[in-house]
Structures are given as C-alpha cells and as structure tokens.
C-alpha cells in the first residue's frame, strides 16, 4: 500500500411509507424469478435480516454478474471500508453521511432508468437494507439491495473487485476470519498485555460512541483519520498496540493497513466496548 493511497483515504474519510411504481422496475422484468424475502423459504437462515426489511427488493450474485454493466453499484459503507475493497466502478455514497439522500437523488437524476444496486459487507450487515429503505422513503425507485455483500462478491467475482487499490482483486490479500480472531483478546487478556511499558492503548471510537469506556489505564483517543496517517508514517511501529472500537467491526479494516505496513505486535478488544458487561466499564458523564 502506498503512502499516497493512505493519504487519499484520509482525505476521503475527513470529509420507506413505500410506494412502488405500477410498472415493474427494469431489473425485475429482466429477472422475474428475483423475489422479495416473503417468497424465499430459505431467507431467514441465509439472510437473517431480510425478515426485518420485507419491502426491500434484493438481487443475487448471479443476477448482478449478468447485469453488471446495466446497473449502477453504490457502496453504502464508510469511505474507510470502500478504500480497502469495493466493486469495480462502484460509487461511494456512505449511508451514514448527512448528504446520502442528496447524493443518491443526484445519481438517480443523472441515470433515470438504470437500476441502483446498494451493498455493504455481507449477510449480517444491515446498512444496505437501511439505505434502500431510506431511499424509498424519499421516492427513489428501481433500487435494490445486494445483501450478499462485498465479501461474497469478491470471492465470486475478483475480476470486478478493487482490493487495496488493485484490480483484479488478489484473494490472497484478504484477511480471513481466522487472522482477525488471532489478534482479538478479552479485556482481562488485554490488561495483562498492557502491563508492558511499551504498550499503547488506542481508542478509535467517535465522540457519540463514548458513553462508556473499558476499565483500562492510559487509554489514548485517536480519531481514525489521524490514526491511519500515523500507521502510514509508522509512528508506533516499534510498540505493542492495543486497539479499541465500539463493536469490534471497524477494526477489521484497520487490520489491512497494519498488515500492509508491517506491524507485528497489535491486538483488538474482542467484540468492542459494547460487548463488555457493566462490571468491565466506566460510564462517562
């Protein structure tokens, strides 16, 4: 990973009442067997969140591959996640952005007939469902959720995936669940690691997420954009790093940068602060 790539990431980071049209959307006409969750017997097992969003129309991997050039792919995840991996040609419009609807509306106006396909990480990620629901509430139609997510897509279609600024995606550079699990530790385990005078505890949570903090001494709060700059400059390369986030999910993307820059001694709080019991946290007033 180049320094320029990380700088580009930092700059990017710094910055449904549902009413369908009487005419079927073009993508649905092309795929009459593409159905909503209410008609899929296996949906609850394979796609556990579909039951909560029965109004959201979905598209399968096979369907999207067949109609890729005839659809517009929208990455609804954060810019950090997008910069690590995204569909080739996908447009980054984070659902969390205050400009989500305005940007999506502009995209629809520029492409009035093409189906919009929104995606996030995988089967248990709710972002694409929420994003489609919000779009529908604002009258944006002919819109679908690719709820298999980018992690399924890259395995099935590396040729149309950008991973760490390279396409086709090199699947050997994907960080596996086992690799992630290997650096996850419980709070008691992290306390022992933190006894090393060379250890540095870094909390990357946003201000609104800091209603409570884990019972660890000398926690340093570093915003994600600043942290990525420090990783790029290898500022803490010789220290044992302990990272904390809210749910344990954000750090999986930080791990890509740590690995690319050759960091060897680092650990993540398993499950994040939100998974800790009351006896393990201090409430912040």
Q: Report pLDDT for 116.
A: 99
**Do 75 and 87 touch, CB atoms closer than 8 A?**
yes
Which homologous superfamily is 3-173 in? Rhodanese-like domain (3.40.250.10)
Determine contact, residues 158/131, Cβ cutoff 8 Å.
no
Digit-coded pLDDT (tens) for 196-224 = 889 999 999 988 888 888 999 999 999 98
52-85 pLDDT, tens digit per residue, is: 999 999 999 999 999 999 999 999 999 999 999 9
Before 168, cis peptide (omega within 30)? yes
- The DSSP element (H or E) to which 144 belongs, if any, is strand 143-146
Among 111, 81, 78, 108, CA closest to 93? 78
Q: Are 129 and 56 in contact (CB under 8 A)?
A: yes
Q: Are 263 and 237 a contacting pair, CB within 8 Å?
A: yes
Q: Supply the pLDDT for residue 283.
A: 83
95 closest CA partner among 62, 131, 67: 131
For the chain, list residues with pLDDT below 50: 7, 10-11, 14-26, 28-42
Q: Where, residue-wise, is CATH 3.40.250.10 in the chain?
A: 3-173, 177-283
pTM for the structure as a whole: 0.78
Which region holds residue 212: left if phi is over 0, alpha if psi is between -120 and 50, else beta?
Answer: beta
Which CATH number is 177-283 given?
3.40.250.10
């Amino acid at each position: 990973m180049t320094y320029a790539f990380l700088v580009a990431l930092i700059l990017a980071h710094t910055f449904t009442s549902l009413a369908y049209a009487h005419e079927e959307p073009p993508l649905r006409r092309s795929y009459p067997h593409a159905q909503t969750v209410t008609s899929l017997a296996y949906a609850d097992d394979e796609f556990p969140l579909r039951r909560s969003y029965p109004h959201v129309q979905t598209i399968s991997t096979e369907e999207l591959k067949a109609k890729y050039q005839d659809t517009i792919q929208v990455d609804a995840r954060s810019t950090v996640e997008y910069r690590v991996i995204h569909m080739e040609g996908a447009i980054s419009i984070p659902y969390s952005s205050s400009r989500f609807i305005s940007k999506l509306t502009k995209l629809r106006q520029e492409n009035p007939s093409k189906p919009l396909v929104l995606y996030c990480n995988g089967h248990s990620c709710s972002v694409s469902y929420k994003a489609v629901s919000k779009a529908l509430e604002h009258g944006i139609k002919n819109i679908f959720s690719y709820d298999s997510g980018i992690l399924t897509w890259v395995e099935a279609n590396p040729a149309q995936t950008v991973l760490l600024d390279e396409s086709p995606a090199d699947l050997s550079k994907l960080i596996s669940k086992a690799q992630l699990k290997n650096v996850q530790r419980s709070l008691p385990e992290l306390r022992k690691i933190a006894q090393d005078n060379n250890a540095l505890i870094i909390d990357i949570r946003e201000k609104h997420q800091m209603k409570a903090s884990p019972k660890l001494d000398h926690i340093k709060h570093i915003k994600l954009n600043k942290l990525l700059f420090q990783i790029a400059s290898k500022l803490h390369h010789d220290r044992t790093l302990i990272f904390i986030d809210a749910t344990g999910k954000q750090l999986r993307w930080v791990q890509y940068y740590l690995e690319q820059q050759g960091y060897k001694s680092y650990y993540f709080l398993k499950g994040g602060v939100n998974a800790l019991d009351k006896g393990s946290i201090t409430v912040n007033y």
